[in-house]
Structure formats: structure tokens, C-alpha cells
Structure 1
Amino acid sequence: MGRNLKNAILAILSPLPSITFYLTFLHYNNNNYSSSLWIWCSHNPFLLANLLFFININLFFWIIGLLQSCHWIIDLYWTVIPVMLSHYYATHPFSKPNLWRSNVVILLTWVWSIRLTHSYFRRENWQWGGREDWRFNEMRIQYGKHWWWLSFFVVYVSQQVFLMGICLPMYAVNSIDTLWNSWDSIATLVCLFGIVVVYFADTQLHEFTSKNKILKESGVDTIPNLDSGLWQYSRHPNNFGEQLWWWGLVNFGWNVGHGWTFIGSFVNSMCLAYVTVLVEQRILKQAFRTKSYRMYQKSTSVWVPWFKSFRQEDSKYKNF
């Protein structure tokens, strides 16, 4: 059995412990079993979700990563966990949602997930577990023999904080029943616009990297920077679109009286800003891109798409 098929089976089977436990809980809850365990699960939906995440994702996925010497599976599950959480919060006995709002959020999350899953596999050449995040690779080298235990906190516990945090609006939407209103419609449009922006940005980036790969294999000089399409107006339009999606979800939470749910998206945005700096530093270390990218930095907005502030005397550096 090939490595790709093994990883595919592993990825599909990995969440089954949590799914099985939750379905068992729903069965016993629907049949009025008064076990202290089921009572606790009924009254603590957020804590239960975190407990399942800690056991099934943090511990189980970490062990898989250690055995394979590659923490690839958590990247894939970034596309899946929000969908699972949206269904979990909607079906939990604690749930008291406006069904229209709840179903719209679930549908939007599915659209977001399908888009991201397609982008993930397209980037990975349709391989399961072909590689892990480049940041994990660098930390593996940096921390050496300590990486095996540090990875539990850096790769998995931190991801729990981020994922549970940015999905807080899904919890809020399913915790109170208020009528759908114009703010929900605005939140829907923001989410959809974000998904569309990041789809086109990722597609343009994929086409750019694919073209450069062909040029490199042909022995021709590669194009140093992507400076067309959405990338003409923003250095990271994919990040901009992704943030629009998450902040659109925050609008749903705010509209049902849970404005505090912004904290997850706020922390995520701050971390993504830091990662953006790391990515650009990494680009500038590539000698053939340095001069062109510095000019690109001077003329192009970081995240929010905007018109270029392009100086005439710099035009000789423009590559497109």
C-alpha cells in the first residue's frame, strides 16, 4: 500500500473517536439516560468540544506526527475542524439557535472548507501528507532533540487556541434565538466576499508558481515576484480574503449579542500579521528576488487592496 493511500486512510479515520463519542452521547441524551457523564456533556458544550479536541487532535495527532516524523495532518484538518464544530454546536442539546442563521453559517463554513481543501490539495499536488508546514521544518532544526515534546505545544495546543477561538461565533450563533436581520445579511456578504477574494488570490498564486516551475525546468530565468491580478493591489490578498471570512463570522456573533467572540479573530489576525513578516523576510533572503521585492514592498499595500504608490524613478525595476 502506497504512502499516499496510507495517509489518506489515516486522515479519514483520525476523527472517528470524537465522532463516535459524540454520537453515543446524543443517543443516550435522547433516551434520557441520567449518567453524570452525559449530564456534564449536556451542560458544557464548549468545554466538551475542547476536551475532544485535546484528546483526539492534540494527543492523537501529535503521536501520529512523532511516528511519521512529520506534522502534516494538522494543516489538513484546519479545513475540516470548523465544519465539524459548526455541526457540533448546531446539534448539541444546549443549542437554541435561529435555524435560518445557524444553517446559513453551516453552509458558509462548508463553502469556505471546500475552497480551502481544494487549495490545499492543489498546492500539495494532490498528495496526502506530502510535506509539513515550512515553519515546523525550521523549528525542528532550531530545537533539535527538544522538538519532539515542544511540538506538542507549538503545533497542537496552539492550534487548539486558534481554532477554538476563531470558531467562537459558531458557538454564539447556536446559543441564542434572535430573528434574522439586515446585519446577518451583511455578515453573509462579507463572508462570501472574503471566500471569493481568497479563492482568486490563491488561484493566481498557484498559476504563478506553476509557471515558474516550468520555467525553472526549462532552464529559463524565473519571474521573481507575482505582481498581477489581485497581487497588483495587495502583497497578501489571500490573507486579506481569509481575514474577511473570519471577521464576517464575528459579525454573526456580534449580532446575537456576543460581541466578545471577536477575540479569536483578533488574536488570529495579530498572529497572521507576524507570519506575514516572517514570509517577507524569507522572500528577501532569496537573492534573485531581493531588489524586485523591496520595490514591490514600497509600492504595494500589505493586506488591504489599494492602488500602487509607484515612483517613476523605480520603474526600471518593475518586472511585469
Structure 2
Amino acid sequence: MTVLASIGWSVAAAAVVMGVTALVARRQGRVAVVDVAWGAAFAGAALVCGAGAVLADAGASWRTGVLVALVVLWGGRLSWHIGRRTAQHRGEDPRYEKLLGGTLAEVGMARAVRKVFALQGAIVPVIALPVSVGVVLSVRWWPVVVVGAAVWAVGLFFEAVGDAQLASYRSRPRDQRPPVLDTGLWAWTRHPNYFGDACVWWGLWLAGGLASGWVAGLATVIAPLAMTWFLSEATGAKLIEQTMMQRPGYPAYAARTSRFLPRPPRQG
């Protein structure tokens, strides 16, 4: 199986997942269900590309197994976590209301498909490039695969532990918790889950892209760069901060705590 064929399978998998999600959104009357499909779309793309590579006897089977396992573990955990969280809220996410200019019932399904489902479906194959390319190429530097898996593990730790600490904080009654979560990983970065997500994709780039050689590494580096930009400057941390800065205690927390990259909190 060629690189282009593998990328094509990734595109097809993303299209199927987002298409099904759009139908679910139409039935439920809210676009926010796409957040649950985000991790599932990557897992589906990795499984399809990995299966295609194995059937075509392309790439290194051991590295294919590693890449597929890492993406499925990350994507499965993310979809499960977001699904459990969104199940507690039946209304639309304010982010999507702002993006669409109203609720799904007000703006119609066509706008939601164009501005949400089609857009995210197009982004998935780009971010998944290190995986769809890596499964069909030979491994040039196997130690880089090991380093990539280690970076992925660091990312998953920050993401999973950060989510768990936030869930524990939110489970406490409002009058029994501080106005801002500033302990644990949240004392080192204001967005440990987003930082962890970025690390996951830098790890996958190392293991799937750079480990295949310089050409493959340069051709796929757009994936972690784009993901990091989305998480830190576009739809992730920067967007949330616009609202969080209005919360009592948050500006002081922001003054002493790094926005993205972890570091010890400033004193005083």
C-alpha cells in the first residue's frame, strides 16, 4: 500500500465518523457531540490505515502495531472522557453557538456541516499524517520510535491526570472549593490537558514520521505543529481564557501560572 493510498483511507475513515456524528447531532439537536467523535475519528483512521498496511505487507509490522495502539488508547480515552462529561449537559456548548451564530435549530444543519463537521473531518487526516504515513514506511531510526512513545506517555499523563483533577474539583460543592483550580498539574500550567494533547502528537510524529527518515519527518511535521497551534492559540487555551479571565481569582492565577508549557508557579 502506498503513502497516498494510506492517506486516502484516513480521509475515508474521518468522513465516515464525522458523517455518522452529523446524523447523531441532527437527532439530538446539538453540535457538541462532535467533541466525542474527535478522538474516535483518529482511532478509526489509525485502525483502517494499520489494517491496510498489514494486508498489503507494507511498513514495519511492529511499528504499525505501536502507532495504532497509541492512537486508539489516546482517542478511546478522550472520547470516553468527553462523552461522560457531555452526558451531564443536554444543552448546546456555548462555543458552538458562537461559532454557528445560534443553536442548531436556529441556523440549520447545512451550516453546522459546513462550519463544524466538514471542517473537523478535513483536519483529522492532516493531524493523522504521521500515523497514515508511518504505517506504510520502513523504520530508519528505531530509537526515535522509543523516544516518541515516551513523549506520547508524558502527554497522556498530563492529559488524563489533568482531566481527573479538574473533574474532582468540579465534583465539589461550589461553596466548598476555591474559585480557581490551582493545585496539582494545574499549578504548573493553566491547561495541562491541552499541553498533554500536544505532547501526544509530537510523540506520534517522532514515532511515525521522523523515525522513517528526514523526508517523512519534514513532510509530516505539519501535524504536531497544527495541533499545537490549535490547542494553544486557536480553539483551545486562548479561546477558553477569554471567558476564564472574567472569573474571580483567575487573573491572579494567570499571573503566576504558565498558560501552556509547564513550569513552577511564580512566587509573590
TM-score (norm 1): 0.72
Q: Distance in 1 between matches of 2:27 and 2:128?
A: 30
Residue 137 of structure 2: aligned partner: 176
Compute the displacement of 1:184 (Å).
1.0
Residue 222 of structure 2: aligned partner: 263
Q: Distance in 2 between matches of 1:308 and 1:42?
A: 45
Question: Can you give the 5+ residue segments of structure 1 that lack an aligned partner in the other structure?
Answer: 1-38, 312-320
Compute the displacement of 1:180 (Å).
5.7
Residue 110 of structure 1: aligned partner: 72
Q: Which amino acid aligns with 1:65?
A: A
SS at match of 1:308: coil
CA contact (8 A) 1:102 1:173 kept: yes
CA contact (8 A) 2:134 2:212 kept: yes
2:48 to 88, 96, 110: 88
Q: Distance in 2 between matches of 1:201 and 1:128?
A: 19
CA contact (8 A) 1:193 1:241 kept: yes
Residue 294 of structure 1: aligned partner: 251
TM-score (norm 2): 0.85
Q: Distance in 1 between matches of 2:169 and 2:4?
A: 50
SS at match of 1:80: helix
Q: How far does the alpha carbon of each residue in 1:105-136 deviate from its partner, in whole angstroms, 9 at most, with x for none? A: 12222321343234224423xx3984554311
Compute the displacement of 1:43 (Å).
7.2
Q: Distance in 1 between matches of 2:11 and 2:89?
A: 25
After TM superposition, the structure 1 = structure 2 runs for residues 63-82 of structure 1, keeping only pairs within 5 Å, are: 63-82=23-42
Q: Distance in 1 between matches of 2:4 and 2:187?
A: 50
Q: Percent identity?
A: 22
1:251 to 186, 206, 220: 206
Aligned residues: 259
Compute the displacement of 1:181 (Å).
1.7
The structure with the larger Rg is 1
Residue 151 of structure 2: aligned partner: 190
Q: Distance in 2 between matches of 1:271 and 1:46?
A: 21
2:188 to 215, 233, 238: 233
SS at match of 1:176: coil
CA contact (8 A) 1:90 1:97 kept: no
Q: Distance in 1 between matches of 2:171 and 2:20?
A: 35
Q: Which amino acid aligns with 2:166?
A: L
CA contact (8 A) 1:300 1:308 kept: yes
Compute the displacement of 1:201 (Å).
0.7
Compute the displacement of 1:49 (Å).
3.5
Provide the aligned C-alpha RMSD in A.
Answer: 2.7
Query: Which one has more relative contact order, counting CA pairs under 8 Å at least 6 apart?
Result: 2
CA contact (8 A) 1:58 1:152 kept: no
CA contact (8 A) 2:156 2:197 kept: yes
Compute the displacement of 1:147 (Å).
4.9
> Residues 118 and 148 (structure 1 numbering): CA distance in 2 closer, same or farther, change over 3 Å?
closer
